[in-house]
Structure 1
Amino acid sequence: MDEVVSVFRSRMLQLHTTRSWDFMGLSYGSGGSTPIQYKYGDDITVGVFDTGIWPESESFKEEPGTKPIPDSWHGQCVEGQEFDPKTACNRKLIGARYYLKGFEQEYGLIDQTEYRSPRDGLGHGTHTSSTAVGSTSRNASFFGLGTGIARGGAPRARLAMYKICWFKDLQGRCSESDIMAAFDEALSDGVNVISASIGAPPPLVPFFASATEIGSFHAQEIGVVVVFSAGNDGPDESLVQNVAPWSICVAAGTIDRRFPTEIKIQNTSFLGQGFIVEALKSQLIASILIFSDGSCSVDKWNGEDARGKIILCFSTVGPVSSGGAAIAGYFANATGIIFVETTVKQSAQDDFLPTVHIGLPQGTQILYQLQSPPKILRVQISPSKTIIGRSPAPSVASFSSRGPNSMSPNILKPDITAPGVNILAAWTPKTSPTLLPIDSRSVNWNFDSGTSMSCPHISGIVALLKSAHPDWSPAMIKSAIMTTAYMRDTSTDSILAGGTLKSVDPFDIGAGHVNPLKAMDPGLVYDIDTQEYIFYLCSLGYTKKQLQRIIKPFPGINMNCTGKHSDLDLNYPAIVLSDLQSTVTIKRTLKNVGRDGAAYFANVVSPHGVHALIWPRYIVFSCRKRMISYYVTVTPLKQSQGRYDFGEIVWFDGYHYVRTPLVVRVNNV
């Protein structure tokens, strides 16, 4: 039993469900400005924890000049149903394993549509892998939409698939015991990065009872960066998942690509968003009810015949899916759906039955036309177009899970935002784009949205950073990504939060939207070692026995929580004071990863209701790798209503902007 670190009740986790790289400035091979230092992720192996892989996809072919598999790699491709390692794996896909013992103990034998092998029967794992490290593929599109060159963020990085999630109830389910087994083997195999678009919704369990938090802690102990999705439960607050400070938690944002779809009724035109491949002409009928599930089911059409018609469907309670309406419309033999929502739709959605999303003002105008003579209208829906360069972009997706952190309020989560809306990537051709049994279509590329899609964007960027800076720790890489992020969109206004249409704050976007080119050269970083994380765990009141369930002991590691520890002492690249009652002084330490002799000035923007003072305000680093500490004293100025307010600390040397969010809630002054 020496290899057993801890035993806990296994839970079921869920999957969090290409223009994006160009949008972020990574224009490989197309005359762009991507620095050659990135090396495209060369010699880095990304382990993806997901639903498996479709190895025949163009995304997983060897790029010209791919080097032999390094001797440091100890993994393997495991044989299984319709998965022959001799033909499935190559110098790109160098590892493939599958885990189902925990899943089958919970649910019984896997679904007959699944593969008892690393092969992907769901599409999700193929999509996320392609996004992170996919090879260059020309003429990728979804039925002609989004046509262009598809590639991952680190196209020369290698891929290892760890299939931990299986098809159940039209979604992927992932057993924690299978996740722990995957972590153990991935770390033994020699991966450099782990990308896991999975999570369990709140209430969150303690870190010592979570496979993802334990596994990711083991990873950072040996220098492996773990990237998780934030979850898709937005825009309500405090529902963010994967909140441990030693991993990267990723929110989802939009890019500057849209799929405008024209709706013409009588002589009036409306513009919506959709994936309409062929023009539709039909009569229009309305389902005029207020409902929360978006089902627009047949019994709500007042007995009207939907055969051959387009349905006007209202959904006025929050951001909901149009999928239920499309299924109901299909069984009623409708031609299509015009889906009306109160929130501004940020994305198109493939609903099998042609569906166009429009806003409530447009829907109300159409409804007015329906209630005026003639009451039966002719409607024409044109094929969708692909438009890039639309401004403003990005915005935070309405579905993206928000902070504050419900487990550890003084740790900012999410950490960062990356593209996660309408991402085009490789798919499983034996699975339909919608996963519905009634959908017989087959595609090699599919659009998908979710923090599942934003997570592999950061994983690809981490691979680039590890390739360029092999001596950086996981905390340094995370710091580089966070401190160089931006908060303004392409129109130079504050980025908006979808679902609320307010300017974002760090609980929506984390430190900001990722800027991979800036992250390459951050100037300064915040570093954290394993011992500091242990003292952070001590501050949560964990016992030594509970610590032993999380930590793999190494020589020199102290697991005794003697003395006083505070979670505010963790050298995190964000400062959160969730319960400020009197003046507090916070210490942070910066490491110079820029030039010798770098000199920085500090500027502080105090959150409303407090005064923040930084000392020293001027620091000089005599050489690279030198570390200098600074102190921030935060004083409440007046009684607060218990709300959070937001500011920032920025260190500037004339070129680098090293930005740290400052988040404060004043209570009981």
Structure 2
Amino acid sequence: MKILILKFLHVVLLLILHGQSTAAEKKTQHHSKKTYIIHMDKSIMPASFSNHLHWYDSSLKSVSDSAEMLYTYQHVAHGFAAILTAQEADLLAKQPGILSVIPEIRYELHTTRTPQFLGLGTTNAHFPASDKQSDVIIGILDTGVWPEHKSFDDTGLGPVPASWKGQCEAGKNFTASKCNRKLVGARFFSNGYEAAFGPIDEASESKSPRDDDGHGTHTATTAGGSAVAGASLFGFASGTARGMAPQARVAAYKVCWQGGCFSSDIAAGIDKAIEDGVNILSMSIGGGLTNYYRDIIAIGAFSAMSRGILVSTSAGNAGPAPGSLSNAAPWITTVGAGTLDRNFPAYVTLGDGYRYNGVSLYSGKPLPDSPVPLVYAGNASSESGENHCQMGSLSRSKVARKIVICDRGGSPRAEKGLAVKYAGGIGMILANNAEFGEELLADSHLIPALSLGQKSSDAVKKYVFSNPTPTVKISFGGTQLGVEPSPVVAAFSSRGPNLLAPKILKPDLIAPGVNILAGWTGAVGPTGLDMDARRVDFNIISGTSMSCPHISGLAAILKGAHPEWSPAAIRSSLMTTAYRAYKNGQTIQDVATGQAASPFDYGAGHVDPVAALNPGLVYDATVDDYLGFLCALNYSSTQIKLVTRREFTCDSSKHHRVEDFNYPSFAVPLETASGIGGGSKAPTSVQYKRTLTNVGTPGTYKVSVSSQSLSMKIVVEPQTLNFERLYEKQSFTVTFTSASMPSGTTSFAHLEWSDGSHIVGSPIAFSWT
């Protein structure tokens, strides 16, 4: 099983929502022991111990002489990971100094055109000198790296920054000499994975930083790959490929394996990345929402943020369901996915003359330019009602020498084509249902095949069902540029509202994440299937895994230009300069509905890196601000210590409010009317407070507010902010007053501060529950 985002768009959602056991979970259930992460209270270590490692070891030995310690953590947590029985874990949790014993969690892995699409162009005229960018190191936690890839060419780069402490770890198929001045570090972490699966099968994957999957190389080259001329996938998307920050350095931390990404390995990877000295941490990894003090990504990201490291994560691929996002901590930059203005068209022409447009990356021998018999998988299956073209499910007598319509879902998209081929079919139409709507993801199929949206799929099926001898022709259109409208929010992109902290709007923003070309591994073909013997330098895949490293690379550019900016300031600059409408004034669309998207879908909007370099004002936040946020959530001192590793008690004399946390966006949950059907109720009024920091020239900013709802009254005080010096801070309040609305109602508004040259924008999302 290869961990490709193309495979998990459907499968991961089922795993999360329905709790079906994975291979890793099933194997773990057969063992009496499993991995736990143990958080210790550093402040009460007995004086008899000379250091924390001795204390950790003694605590572990107090419950088991044979218990195996997998990792000790220095930065992410005060504690360690160990293999224990459930009884040993319970005993350990009762020992002095133990804050928590948390079971291992398995997480999942959630470009030639994007620089131009984002306004970066072919030059860096808008951006700071490359030597500043080259001081920035992007850490990628993923499936590893293919170090021989051309995108890691270090030509023209100066010496590695003296602050860098990382290493190039040797292992299977990977030597310490594989790193250079571009790929400055590579490490791997497998203890948690092997505790669940047993020893790594090195015949199928390398116990080293080497990327046998492709996902890690794709994300690393998207964030910081060097420019490579003549890049393409079988001629598709041809041009010069480059990462968002081509002069930045890259360090790879392999924490994901064929069976997933385990929390003990993720924690160890974050821990080492902090110690090594990364400036940006990119993690296209996620799971379901859980309290921050139990979420190792949130805990690790807090440690990174407190050391000035911006953490960028994917929002998840569980859209378009509302409330489906992961990685919702406010100290994390959470990224959703949008499309580019590029497409890979393919066409279906039915025997009745009607033609429908789809997408495909098929590059092999074309079909004859004459009609071919067409059959629906549901009518050609050896299993009653099987219409997804599962391997071995098709009847050869009904499929041979025909094109087969296969419904999407149930198995990897490209694998369905192989099922058709093995049954004697010669082509495939991949049909979307209501679950996938009009979302079109291009695949490098192994037989002539294309994907259709739901409306076209329904029309093609209707033709098949009503015609005794249906026929079809399939043709392919190469690469198409200038597609409008673009961007649109990807249907798979996970959405708000933020169920964990409803007063914090997530995702933060969107970036390109559909049909993205970037570097690939030499170990597997572009589909990731074992049967795919093709090898490519670049691949085109989709997911919020692809949008996350776009933001990571852009954050590296901002860090190079403004090294003194905090992670919160960088995130704010990306958010407040994002755009939410096309040039014609229409709101960015949602491909899932074909209608206008909302801040629950795109957050602050689509990233605009050129504008982000000079935002004028930022919503900054310090560690103390985040501590106040946790107090506002009524976290106990123990829970705060688990998240932050700090001895901190909330001041009971202060009234901590999430409404006053200095975030660049506004989420305003309101109460519905009481009574059946929503009876009358007095208007609700809530007040939010924010503080802006001047990072530009002195000037006077005036506020403006636009709202969808005439019944919502929004008052900003003061309406003018005058900044006389750099880094001066000015505060304002926003009061929202509205009559009650039925439960489930949403409405949106937008707040902007402008001095005539800068626009500092913030989305506002209202929801009644």
The change in CA–CA distance for 1:655 and 1:236 in structure 2 (over 3 A counts) is: same
Answer yes or no: is the 8 Å Cα contact 2:632–2:657 preserved in 1.
yes
1:257-310 CA-partner distances (Å, limit 9, x unpaired): 011113344555433211121322362322164999962348876774323321
**1:395-437 CA deviation, whole Å, 9 max, x = no partner?**
0100001111111111111101000000001101221111111
SS in 1 for 2:326: coil
Displacement, 1:460?
Answer: 0.3
Q: Secondary structure at the match of 1:54?
A: coil
Partner of 1:273 in structure 2? 359
Alpha-carbon distance in structure 1 between the residues aligned to 2:168 and 2:543: 29
What are the within-5 Å matches in structure 2 for residues 144-183 of structure 1?
144-168=235-259, 173-183=260-270
What TM-score results when the alignment is normalised by the length of structure 1?
A: 0.92
| Shift in Å, 1:353 | 3.3
Question: Which residue does the alignment assign to 2:326?
Answer: 241
Once residues 240 and 163 of structure 1 are traced to their aligned partners in structure 2, the CA distance between those partners, rounded to angstroms, is: 24
Does the alignment pair 1:644 with 2:737? no
Change (3 A) 1:566 1:156: same
Q: What are the residue-to-residue correspondences of 1:361-372 with 2, within 5 Å?
A: 361-367=455-461, 369-370=463-464
Distance 1:366 1:175, change over 3 A: closer
Is residue 198 of structure 2 the alignment partner of residue 108 of structure 1?
A: yes
Which amino acid letter does the alignment assign opposite residue 625 of structure 1? Y
CA offsets per residue over residues 58-114 of structure 1, 9 Å max, x none?
Answer: 0111032x110111011111111111112x110011111000001111121224311
Q: Are 2:652 and 1:567 aligned?
A: no
Shift of 1:348: 1.6
Is residue 2:106 matched to residue 1:12? yes
Query: Residue 359 in 1 paired to residue 453 in 2?
Result: yes
For 1:529-608, list aligned pairs within 5 A. Answer: 529-553=622-646, 558-562=648-652, 563-580=654-671, 582-596=684-698, 598-606=699-707, 608=709
What secondary structure, in the 3-state scheme, does the structure 1 residue paired with 2:549 have?
A: helix
1:539 to partner: Cα distance? 1.4
CA contact (8 A) 2:390 2:411 kept: no
Partner of 1:350: 444
SS in 2 for 1:454: helix
Question: Which residue of 2 is the match for residue 95 of structure 1?
Answer: 185
Q: Which position in structure 1 is the counterpart of 2:572?
A: 479
Aligned match of 1:185 in 225, 249, 272? Answer: 272
Shift of 1:357: 1.5
Structure 2 residue matching 1:305: 3-state secondary structure: helix
Conserved 8 A contact 1:287-1:296: no
Instruction: Tell whether 2:339 aligns with 1:254.
Output: yes
| Conserved 8 A contact 1:534-1:559 | no
- For 2:308, the aligned partner's letter is G
Letter in 2 for 1:184: D
Q: Which amino acid aligns with 1:220?
A: M
Residues 1:656 and 2:758 are matched in the alignment: yes
Indicate whether 1:444 and 2:534 are aligned.
no
Counterpart-to-counterpart distance in 1, 2:465 and 2:387:
22
Hey, what does 1:286 align to over in structure 2? 375
State the distance in 1 between where 2:725 and 2:581 align.
33
- Quote the residue 2:148 is aligned against: 56
* Matched position secondary structure for 1:8: strand
Contact 1:297-1:328 within 8 A present in 2 as well? yes
- When structure 1 is superposed on structure 2, of 459-468 and 436-445 the one drifting more is 436-445
Distance in 1 (alpha carbons) for counterparts of 2:126 and 2:242: 14
Checking the alignment, whether the CA contact within 8 Å between 1:411 and 1:575 is kept in structure 2 is: yes
Q: Do the aligned residues in 2 keep the contact of 1:235 with 1:400 (CA within 8 Å)?
A: yes
Per the TM alignment, residue 199 of structure 1 is displaced from its structure 2 partner at its CA by: 0.4
Residue ranges of structure 2 left out of the alignment (5+ in a row): 1-51, 54-73, 80-100, 672-682
Q: Equivalent residue of 1:583, what SS?
A: strand
Match of 2:231 in 1: 140
Alignment partner of 1:213 is 2:298: yes
- Shift of residue 582, structure 1, vs aligned partner: 2.6
Offset at 1:330? Answer: 2.8
How far the C-alpha of 1:474 sits from its partner, in A, is 0.4
Q: Which residue of 2 aligns with 1:489?
A: 582
Tell me the residue number matched to 2:23. none
Structure 1 match to 2:36:
none
Distance 2:183 2:391 in 1: 47
State the SS of the aligned residue for 2:222.
helix
Q: What amino acid is the match of 1:499?
A: A
Q: Which has the larger radius of gyration?
A: 2
- Deviates most, 433-442 or 559-568: 559-568
CA deviation after TM superposition for structure 1 residue 190, in Å: 0.5
Distance 1:157 1:299 in 2: 48
For residues 367-389 of structure 1, give each alpha carbon's deviation from its aligned partner in whole angstroms, at most 9, with x where no partner exists.
45546677153x43233310111
1:83 is aligned to 174
- How many Å separate the matches in 2 of 1:120 and 1:98? 10
Task: Note if 1:74 corresponds to 2:159.
Answer: no
Matched, 1:335 2:426: yes
Indicate if the aligned counterparts of 1:611 and 1:637 stay in contact, CA closer than 8 A: no
Cα gap change, 1:313/1:35 in structure 2, threshold over 3 Å: closer, same or farther? same
| 8 A contact 1:258–1:386 mirrored in 2 | yes
Q: Could you say which residue in structure 1 is the equivalent of 2:57? A: none
Give how far 1:440 is off: 1.3
Alpha carbons of 1:38 and 1:253: their partners in 2 closer, same or farther (altered >3 Å)? farther
- Structure 1 window deviating more from structure 2 (259-268 vs 294-303): it is 294-303
> Residue 490 and residue 305 in structure 1: after superposition, are their counterparts in 2 closer, same or farther (change >3 A)?
farther
Q: Identity of counterpart residues, as a percentage?
A: 38
- Residue 333 of structure 1 deviates from its aligned partner by 2.7
Query: Could you tell me whether the CA contact under 8 Å between 2:168 and 2:184 is conserved in 1?
Result: yes
Output the TM-score relative to the length of structure 2: 0.80
Match of 2:33 in 1: none
Cα distance in 2 for partners of 1:90, 1:536 equals 41
Return the alpha-carbon distance in structure 2 between the equivalents of residues 40 and 27 of structure 1: 19
Q: Deviations over 1:327-356 (max 9, x none)?
A: 421321322211232422333223433321
Aligned-residue offset at 1:362: 3.6
> 1:619 aligned to 2:721?
yes
* Contact 2:374 2:404 (8 Å CA) reproduced: yes
Letter in 2 for 1:240: L
Q: Distance in 1 between matches of 2:467 and 2:545?
A: 47
Residues 670 and 684 of structure 2 are in contact (CA less than 8 Å); yes or no, is this contact kept in structure 1?
Answer: no
- Partner amino acid, structure 1, of 2:362: I
Q: Deviation of residue 494 (structure 1)?
A: 1.2
Larger CA deviation: 468-477 vs 329-338? 329-338
Greater shift in the superposed pair: 337-346 or 250-259: 337-346
Contact 1:231/1:400 (<8 A) preserved: yes
- Alpha-carbon distance in 2 for matches of 1:285, 1:228: 43
Which runs of 5 or more residues in structure 1 are unaligned?
Answer: none
Q: Separation in 2 of the partners of 1:321 and 1:522?
A: 42
Shift of 1:444: 1.1
Alignment partner of 2:282 out of 179, 189, 195? 195
| Contact 1:225-1:247 at 8 Å conserved across structures | yes
What is the rounded CA distance, in whole Å, between the counterparts of 1:590 and 1:320 in structure 2?
A: 49
Q: Would the aligned equivalents of 1:25 and 1:34 in 2 still touch at CA under 8 Å?
A: no
Question: Is 1:24 the equivalent of 2:118?
Answer: yes
